[in-house]
Amino acid sequence: VTDQQAENTGALAVIDMSGPAAALSEFGRTHNLVISAWPAPGVGRSEYLAAVRLAGLKAAVHLAQAARGAEAERVEVFELPSHARVPAALAHLPRVAYVFQIHSHQRPTGVDEGILYGDPIRRMLPTVIHPNEILDGAVVRGFMGRNATTWAFQNHPLIRALYTRHGRALWFAGVVVTVAQATEPERVRSAFVAAGLVAHVLGADGAVLTKIGGGAPHVDMAQAAAQCEALGVKTTLIVEDMSTDGSADGMLLFNFPGMDALVNVGSGQEPFVFPPMERVVGADDQAARLRGEMRATYGTLCGAIEQVGATKVMAQVQ
Amino acid sequence: MTSEPMRTQAMDTLRVVCYLNQFFGQLGGEDKAGVGPQVVTGAVGPARAVEQALGAAGTVVATVICGDNYVAEHVERAVGELLALVAAQRPNLVVAGPAFLAGRYGVACGALCAAVQAELKIPAVTGMHAENPGVDLYRRHVYIAQTGAEAARMLEEVRRLVALGLKLVRGESIGAPAQEGYFARGVTHNTVASETGAERAVAMLLDKLAGRAFASEVPLPKFPNVPAPRLIKTLEGATIALVTDGGWVPRGNPDGIEALNATRYGAYSIEGKADLDAAQYDNVHRGYDTTYVKQDPHRLVPVDVARELEQQGAIGKLHETVYSTVGVATTLAHSARMGREIAEKLRAAGVDAVILTST
C-alpha cells in the first residue's frame, strides 16, 4: 500500500526486483501487489492512512482466499504449549523470552491506527501473548513505523528463530508485547512491568528485545533490558545503527552497564545509489526519478533494514 | 555500499610515492633528525619492500624523506613542503612508513597521509604499532595498518599495507578491520552478514547464557564521566539559566534550527516576560509528541515558575536569555560543540547554574 500524501517519499518507497538491491530485501523475491489509492477531498490524514491500510489487509485476505484449496508446497508447525508445561526431560534448557516493542507513541497515535488486534494501544501496559498470534497477524505496523514492515511481523524472524531452537538449544518461554512510551514515568513503569513478566511470570533466563521507531523507543527498549538484567535475566538487543553521520560513536543512544550483547540491523541513513531501471511499476510520480540513477538511502529500500532482524544487512565498524 | 573510491581510473602501472624518516631513509640517526624534506628517485630502504609488494601493479617512482624533528617542530610548514614534493611526482598512491612504535615518525606519517588525501585527492596508507600516538590522532582519517613495535617483519607488514593501498586506488571494498589488519576508523558501513539479525541475536543470547565468548556488533560508547560541579553560592544568590534541547523556538523559527540532526541553537530573550505566550512560540522537534509543549511552552521551558522563584527570592536571578536546540539524531560532534559554546556564553554572562530540560 502506498501513501500518496507522504511528506518524505523516501521512506520504504522502493522495491528492487532485479537490480543490485534485490538481494538485500525479502521483497525482491516475493510477488508484490501494489495498491495506490488517493484520498477524496476533505479526508483527514489519519482516516486516509487507516483506509489504505484496511484496503491492503482486505486485499491480502482476498488473495489468500484465492489460494484456499490449493495444496501447500511446504508445511511448518509452530507448536508451543503453555509455558507451565515444560517436560521434565527438557527442564534444563535455558528459558528464552522475546520482548517485542510493537509500537511507539513518540508521535501522536491516531484513533484509527490499529496496532494490536486493531486497537491503537494508546494506554497499553506490557502484555503476554502467544507468539502464534503474531504469526497469525495480530500485530500490524503503525502508520509511521520506520524500518519495519507488517510482512516481517507476520513472518516474524525472531519468533521463527526461537521456534527453530525450541526444545533443543532453548525453551521458548513466550512473548511480551510492549509500547515505547512518550513520557518518562510511563517508560519507567513499562520497563518494570515488562521485566517482571519476563522474569517472574515467564520465568525466563534470557530475553531478546527489539524496538520500533526512532531514538526514544531505542532508549525505552534499553531501559526494559536494564530492568531484565537487574532481575537476573540476560539480554540481547537488536538495534539499528542510529548514527546520522556514519560515525561509530553515534551508533547507540544509551549507555547502560552490562548491555553488552547488541546485534545491529544496519543503518537506514547510509547513502544508497539505485542504478537506472528500465521498467518501473506503480508510483507514476516517482517513475521518472527511478528510470535514471537515484541517490537515496538504505531506508528507501523497502525491507532492507528491518528492526526485528529479518535481513542480513548489518553495519560494520570500519 | 563501500567507502567511496577517492579516484578510480584505468591505470596500467600505478605511480607510488613512499615517505620515510631520516633513519629509514638512510640519512642517519638522531643526529640527522633535523634535516628538511628531500626527494630521491626510486625506492630507498623500506620503499624497496613496497616496490616488491607492488609487483607488476606499480612502481615506486620516488621516496620522500624528512627528519623526525623537522616535522615535529614545524608540522604545518613541513607537511606543506612534503605535499609539494609528493604532488610533483603525480602519484596514484602514497605509502608512508611503516612507523612501528616511533612516535614522531608516526605522527608525521599520519599528518602527511591526511593532507595527501585532502589536498591531492588520492589515497594514502601508513602502518604503525597500536601504541604509536599517530594511531589515535589519524585513525579516523587514514587507513593505518597494524604493525609490530619494530621492523622485524617488514616485508610481511608492508605487503598488507600495499594490499590495502591497492584496494583503495582501485575503489574495491575494504573488509572489516580485523580481517584487513587496520585500525578501525570509527565509521560504519552497511554490509551483508552470513545470518539474519534475528539468527545472530538468538545465537548471541545462547552464548551469553552459557558463559561463552561473544562479540557485540555495536561498540559500547566510551562517554567520559562528567562530574556535576558543586554550586559554590547559595541558590538565593545564584543566577540561573534555562537551557533546553526540546525544540522550543519563537514562531517562525528565526534561526532555522533543524527539526532533526540539528547543527544550530538559538538564544532567545525573556527580558520583561513574566511568562511565555504560547501564541508567540512554536516547537520544531521531530522526535517526540510536541502537542503538549506547543499548547503550553512552560511544560518545556518553565519561565513562569522560575520568575515566581525569582520574585520570592528563592533564586537570585533568572538569566534573561534561554538557549534552545533540537536534540534528536544530533551528532555527537555537534552536540559537544553546541554544549561547549552555550556553556562559554553562560559563563561569560555570570550564570552560576543551569536548569536543562530534555525530552
Q: ipTM of this predicted complex?
A: 0.95
Size of interface A-B (CB pairs under 8 A): 195
Indicate yes or no: CB of B196 within 8 angstroms of CB of A107.
Answer: no
User: From its phi and psi, is residue A97 left (phi > 0), alpha (psi between -120 and 50) or beta?
Assistant: beta
Indicate yes or no: CB of A264 within 8 angstroms of CB of B217.
Answer: yes
Best to test chain A binding among B199, B205, B225 (most A CBs inside 10 Å): B205
Helices (H), A166-214: 184-196
Closest CA–CA distance from residue B232 to any residue of chain A (Å): 30
Q: Which residues of B38-67 are buried (b: 16+ CB within 10 A; e: fewer)?
A: bbbeebbbbbbbbbebbeebbebbbbbbbb
B87 exposure class (CB count in 10 Å sphere: 0-12, 13-18, 19+): middle
Indicate yes or no: CB of B190 within 8 angstroms of CB of A267.
Answer: yes
Distance CA B50, CA B95 (A): 8
Question: Which of A234, A309, A313 is nearest residue B192 as measured by Cβ atoms?
Answer: A313
pLDDT value at residue A279:
85
Closest to A26 in 3D by CA, of B198, B203, B216, B217: B198
pLDDT value at residue A77:
94
Distance CA A268, CA A265 (A): 9
Q: Structure pTM?
A: 0.81
Question: What is the Cβ-side half-sphere exposure of residue A231, based on CA atoms within 13 angstroms?
Answer: 24
Closest CA–CA distance from residue B168 to any residue of chain A (Å): 14
Give contacts of A313 with chain B, Cβ < 8 Å: 190-193, 197
pLDDT value at residue A216:
86
Question: Which of B176, B261, B332 is nearest residue A316 as measured by Cβ atoms?
Answer: B176
Which stretches of chain B score pLDDT less than 70? 1-12
Q: Are the C-beta atoms of residues A275 and A19 closer than 8 Å to each other?
A: yes
Q: Read off the C-alpha cell for A66.
A: 484465492
Which residues, 6 or more positions from B184, have their beta carbon under 8 angstroms from its beta carbon? A248, A317, A318, B139, B177
Q: Which residue of A has its CA nearest to B182?
A: A318
Q: What is the pLDDT along chain A (318 residues), one digit of tens a residue?
A: 777 776 665 666 788 888 888 999 999 999 988 888 888 999 888 889 899 999 999 999 999 999 999 999 999 999 998 877 788 899 999 999 999 999 998 888 888 899 999 999 999 999 999 999 999 999 999 987 788 999 999 999 999 999 999 999 999 999 999 999 988 899 999 999 999 999 999 999 999 999 998 888 999 999 999 999 999 999 999 999 988 888 888 888 888 877 899 999 999 989 998 888 888 887 666 677 778 888 889 988 889 999 999 999 999 988
For chain A, the distance separating the N- and C-terminal CA atoms, rounded to the nearest angstrom, is 37
**Scanning the structure block, which residue is given the C-alpha cell 524496538?**
A211
DSSP B82: H
Closest to B16 in 3D by CA, of A205, A194, B152, B49: B49
User: From its phi and psi, is residue B267 left (phi > 0), alpha (psi between -120 and 50) or beta?
Assistant: beta
Which residues, 6 or more positions from A221, have their beta carbon under 8 angstroms from its beta carbon? A99, A101, A180, A209, A210, A211, A237, A239
Helix (H, G, I), strand (E, B) or coil at B146: strand
Give contacts of B221 with chain A, Cβ < 8 Å: 249, 252, 255
Distance CA B110, CA B182 (A): 13
Q: How far is CA A17 from CA A28, A289, A302, B26, B193, in A?
A: 5, 16, 11, 59, 21
Indicate yes or no: CB of A260 within 8 angstroms of CB of B206.
Answer: no
Q: Which residue of B has its CA nearest to A238?
A: B201
Helices (H), B222-301: 291-295
pLDDT value at residue A6:
66
Indicate yes or no: CB of A250 within 8 angstroms of CB of B189.
Answer: no
Q: Which residue of A has its CA nearest to B186?
A: A248
Find how far residue B150's CA is from the centre of its chain: 28
pLDDT value at residue B9:
44
Closest CA–CA distance from residue B218 to any residue of chain A (Å): 6
The tens digit of pLDDT for each residue in A215-237 reads 889 999 999 999 999 999 999 99
Best to test chain B binding among A104, A198, A249, A254 (most B CBs inside 10 Å): A249
Q: Are the C-beta atoms of residues B132 and B104 closer than 8 Å to each other?
A: no
Closest CA–CA distance from residue A317 to any residue of chain B (Å): 4
pLDDT value at residue A243:
86
Distance CA B285, CA B176 (A): 36
Distance CA B202, CA B18 (A): 48
Question: What is the Cβ-side half-sphere exposure of residue B196, based on CA atoms within 13 angstroms?
Answer: 24
Give contacts of A246 with chain B, Cβ < 8 Å: 187-189
Closest to A130 in 3D by CA, of A93, A94, A80: A80
Cβ neighbours, 10 Å, residue B131: 11
Helix (H, G, I), strand (E, B) or coil at B263: coil
Indicate yes or no: CB of B188 within 8 angstroms of CB of A270.
Answer: yes
